[in-house]
Amino acid sequence: ISWLMGLWVPHHLKKTWGIAEVRFVGAERLQASVAAGHGIMLTPNHCRPCDPLMLAELRRQMGVAPTIMASAHLFRSRVMGWLLPRVGAFSMNREGMDRESLKMAASILTEAKRPLVIFPEGVITRTNDRVIHLQEGISFLARTAAKARAAQGGQLVIHPLAMRYEFLGDVEKSVTPV
């Protein structure tokens, strides 16, 4: 189903969110970490609801298929509950201590088969020019996974990602009718 999502995502991003182009700057650093076999944690800011779909472009453009830790409430609908696990997402209950999700995340990082995406802000911020406070569980998870990777002779690498959205059109022309 992931290959099908790869065909649908660019169209959906353009039609629904007005995103015409996705560029990855510094992608060679991520590719080097993948090639080295490191455990990889991707930590993007979270400024729009479509951010996880932007990460789906990693697979399409770079061949890197991340696993995404997502809020448990997203899995409540029948469709999303079926779809999300099939595209590489698993749930995290943000309301309490979700030990099973933390174990799964640590295992993903330790096994180093796929990068793990965690939105460290924990919420959609609606701004892409600053980062709000980061959730405490991220550093705990990183320390735990780094120790496990070191015991196996490997490394854990954290790649902070800055998602920026730019409007390239004429602002006055776009806003005036509204």
Cα gap 172→174, rounded to integer Å: 5
Q: What's the pLDDT tens digit per position in 90-116?
A: 888 877 677 888 899 999 999 999 999
Confidence at residue 33, expressed as pLDDT on a 0 to 100 scale: 94
3-state secondary structure of 98: coil
Classify each residue of 26-48 as buried b or exposed e, where b means 16 or more C-beta atoms within 10 Å of its C-beta: eeeebeebbeeebbbbbbbbbbb
Confidence at residue 59, expressed as pLDDT on a 0 to 100 scale: 78
Edge-to-edge order in the sheet of strand 156-161: 89-92, 67-71, 116-117, 39-44, 156-161
Say whether pLDDT at 117 is over 90: yes
Give residue 38's region: left, alpha or beta (phi > 0; psi -120 to 50): beta
Average pLDDT over residues 139-149: 91
pLDDT band at 12 (very low <50, low <70, confident <90, very high): confident
Q: Which residue has the higher pLDDT, 5 or 122?
A: 122
Handedness of CA 106, 110, 116, 119 (dihedral sign): positive
For the whole model, what pTM was predicted? Answer: 0.85
Say whether pLDDT at 1 is over 60: no
Output the six-digit token pair for 116: 């793990």
Confidence at residue 37, expressed as pLDDT on a 0 to 100 scale: 93
Q: Which residue has the higher pLDDT, 126 or 157?
A: 157
Helix, strand, coil shares of the chain, percent, nearest 5, are 45, 15, 40
Location of structure tokens 């490997």: 154
pLDDT band at 2 (very low <50, low <70, confident <90, very high): low
Which one-letter DSSP state was computed for residue 74?
G
Q: Which of 100, 115, 126, 125 is nearest to 160 (CA)?
A: 115
Confidence at residue 41, expressed as pLDDT on a 0 to 100 scale: 94
